[in-house]
Structure 1
Amino acid sequence: MSLEALSLALEAFRFLRPWWLLALPAIALLWAAVRRAHARPRTPAARIAPHLTAALTLDAARRRRPQPIDGVALALVCCALGAAGPAWTRAPDPFAAQAAPAVVVLKVAPSMEGTDLAPSRLERGRQKIRDFLDLRAGARTALVAYAGSAHVVIPMTEDAGVIAPYLAALTPQTMPREGDAAGAALALAASLLAAEGGAPGGVLLVADGVSPAETAALNASPVPLAVLATLPPGARDRGLDALDAPVIAATPDEADLRRIDGLLNAAWARAQLADESRPWEDRGRWLAWPAALLTLLWFRRGWTMRWAALALATALLPGAPLAQDGARNLRAEAPAAAPGLFDLGGPVAGWFLTPDQQGDVAARRREYDRAAALYADPYRRGWAQYRDGQYKAAVETLARLESADAAMLQGLASIRAQAYRDGVRAFETALRRDPQDADAAANLALARRIVDWVERQQEASDTGDQPDPGADDVTYDNEENRGREMQVPRDQDAAGRLLTADQWMRTVDTRPGDFLRQRFALEAAQAPATGDGGTE
């Protein structure tokens, strides 16, 4: 755990059921009373010889050793603290990213070709960015390049393989203008983060320096900013020294990247803590392990206490469950994960974890296909199938359930499977089961608009002579018979848009460097120049 994460955890620490802490003074009084009685020297009987009395009584040194009451009191303290519900994080939202989205901003100017930092400042920056992507595998990341103008190289993506070839193609020759448009690059990065639907994120600026004229724009950054300075050891830059954001010098190992990742994730976690719609994640179950280990001492000769079992049974009966229930989440909140101590699905794991608990472990590891095979609860199985992209299987699993939540998730799976009519029916079912469900009403309206759009497109394409659909075509349902069935090539999505940015980048046949040079030149020609050669 990084220092930033530890500081944030201490700041957010709380007890969900603090009234259980009232048991701690009672446990302390009990421990003191038993200890005092045990430590009180006994008056030797008058008829027993002194040498026998010494052999039959405990001396002061032995009385100071650990006693059974010590283990009992410590186990009871663990039980009381666990029942109080310690928490310092919010329960994760399964439909939201589990890592902070980030935008990497790379300076691609002639000064970055300096070889005082081997092999060059630019190449070291590219190496650090690749390592940063590997460190954040699966997290959404975008790439922005700037010199005298700023340009989005790759929009937000979870696939680092899309970024790699275009990152390698970035050279000062691909940039249409010389200069330092760091402020414009930061504005582009902020717009990319804003398009993530309000998900908190951060910006990593990789540069060998910043123009003093740009420091004011960087210091006024609306998003968390961290700077990786690609400078040789001992070198300084006046613009970097004037920044309020943390500036970390590039190191031969990954210590600099781990520090930056910790800073960005701390800002993301802080925003997650402020989301009051998510329940707190109860960590009380962690204290069950030390309590259980301490109870093993009671099987040792001389450590048995007749009242200990009753006290432990009383302490293990909290008035509230360990997992605090938050508001009903219609978007299928992921169940709390159990500790993964054994191989999932094996015979040993079955001794300690139920099938649903094993599925929780697989879901927390993002192994949703495995979780779907492990879950016994059909709702959780359908949720795992949905997350794994098995939309038709999820629809079949959830169709057997009678809850509004199941119908809601069934509708989402139908929409993803492009069965829009089925999605409309599922959302109507969710509303029938829960008329107050605002999310189902909003999704129903959206699904109806999608169906109407598809059928209007089919009406417009009704020429009376429609060829048979090919293997690479998608045929949408048309229950209203409005026009002929329309085949849409797979390079368009359900809303009629062209390829996504990731798919489009994969279809570019020209060399990435040539492609970027032409696109950047076109963008720069369409944008007015600013004072330092940047773009607005």
Structure 2
Amino acid sequence: MVSFTFLYPYWLIALLPLLMILPWLAKKKHKQGLIAPHLAEKLGLSAKTQTRAALPALGILWTLAVIALAGPSWQKSPIPAFSLSGARVLVMDMSRSMYADDIVPNRLSQARFKALDLLPGWKEGSTGLVTYAADGYIVSPLTKDSSTLANLIPHLSPEIMPIQGSNAAAGIQEAINLLKQAGHQQGDIILITDGLSQKESRDSKQLLGENQYRLSVLGVGTTDGAPIRLPDGTLLTNSNGKTVIDKLEVAPLRELARATGGIFQLSQPTDFDIEALIKATEKPVSNNNNDASKELEEHINGGFWLLIPIALLALLGFRRGVVIAAVLVLTPVDHAFAASWSSPFTNSDGLGYELFEQENFTEAAGQFSSPQWRGAAQYKAGDYQGAIETLSPLTDEQSQYNLANAYAQSGDLDQAESLYQSILEKNPEHQDAKKNLSLVQALKQQQEKQQQEKQQQEKQQQENQQQEQSQQQDGQQQNDQQQEQSGDNSDSDQSQDQNQSNPSQPQGQQSQGDPQNGQQKNDQQSEQAQSQSNDDQNSELNQQQGQTSGEQQQSEEQSPAQSAQAENNNGDQGDDNNANAVTNPQGQETQESVTASDPVLKKLEQVPNDTSALIRAQLILQAREKQAPEATDNSW
């Protein structure tokens, strides 16, 4: 159904002056001018005709202009409704492999630092926080207050997780639940992890394929890996007793991010990884297939159609030639003609170079058709693996130098060293290659030194563990021997007591009294056990009495005046309690007595202000409400 309306109806008030001006002009034509009417007719001056034609034209022109300004509308246009604020969830890996120290100080600390650096970059929208080990848990729901998340992240560690393991799909599932509960059908999930198993990658890809959420990944660690050093200083071992060396597998993480339209970044000492993640996730995910429920209808202003008759009527009020001159003077010069000639000479490399100069390296890499420039742009954007793939087929010196830099940044120092050496063999004067080669060799020496120190520490720890185990075994053997000796002595003592109990009885009487003797033996054994237990209890009581007496003597020696004062206070307590029963109707004394007598209330008063403990309690409550998670491939 067509609905006619005025978008700006207040302009219709401008028709009121027209109702006053037209009658005034109509009366004015009856007045005489300088020339008498009969003389004007003889001279051919038809003033009356011009006046009669001008009044209707003025009225029509005024009316059309007012109606055009009022914005008549009889059509609607559907427009999509977009939300300027997006939503994102930060998912952090809290498995025990995050204790690996292949990056300084360890992976866990680097993950915390990177997460804290990401928060200030997300200025729009809301952010949530999820952690996972064997299962996923919500640490903070979606919030626009980044300071809340900044206070929680430093207290996250594998020690607060209810169940140890690694299940990234469970953490992604909790992030999806957070976004859906908040009504966000689209959003970003940022995963900070040190690697995924094949099962984790497969389950995560299946979850994200069923939804419209974009996953970006920040990999923490190196491809060489390192042992997992637990907080107590020991190295994590597997079921066979071998030390676990956890390595970062880059390919599954990059494939998972690309499958959902996100990006993958390897943790770097610089801020390139953080800037790339912020740029990719600060804006909401765009969707070209918008639902009808997300569309709004906007009225189309049809007043511009009235400009055609208004322009025709306005032309009648000018002399000949004036309109043409005004059109020639007022028509703007179209400068697009010159730009259209230059556009054929601008190819994709030219556009890519402009983006490169603007430091928009990610888009520049997509524009370049030249592999040299594309590899350089990928290197600048922090996509070192992509730069390696692009520059590997090239053999020129500059490309080989950039390829060596990409290998060095990705952590493959051996390959970088060989490339630098090959460049210097061809061009010994390449100063940048010399400098980078020395840096790479220094880093390799440092890594080898660290590995040697780690191996020595591992050997020492293994030797200490073996010594402890041998000592424990020796102690157990000694305890077993002592128990056997004590058992033999007790049996011999019992047999001697039984033989000495009735030495003068004849054999016949003894045979008749066997049941009685057996009963007597049992009574004797029970009496011995009771006496032994009574002796033990008496010894314990004597020890306690000795301790209390020692404490009493010490307190009496230190402060005899205090004991006297305490006696006075004890003597006055009865009167004070009786007085309080009458003069304290609010029950403060009863509350203090209840608090002092209730151990639960005492424990509540002694609860420390420990954020890590509070987060752990929250995660344990969530774990109790869930079903037990499935066993993961490994416990780290």
TM-score w.r.t. structure 2 length?
A: 0.32
Computing the radius of gyration from Cα coordinates, the structure with the larger value is 2
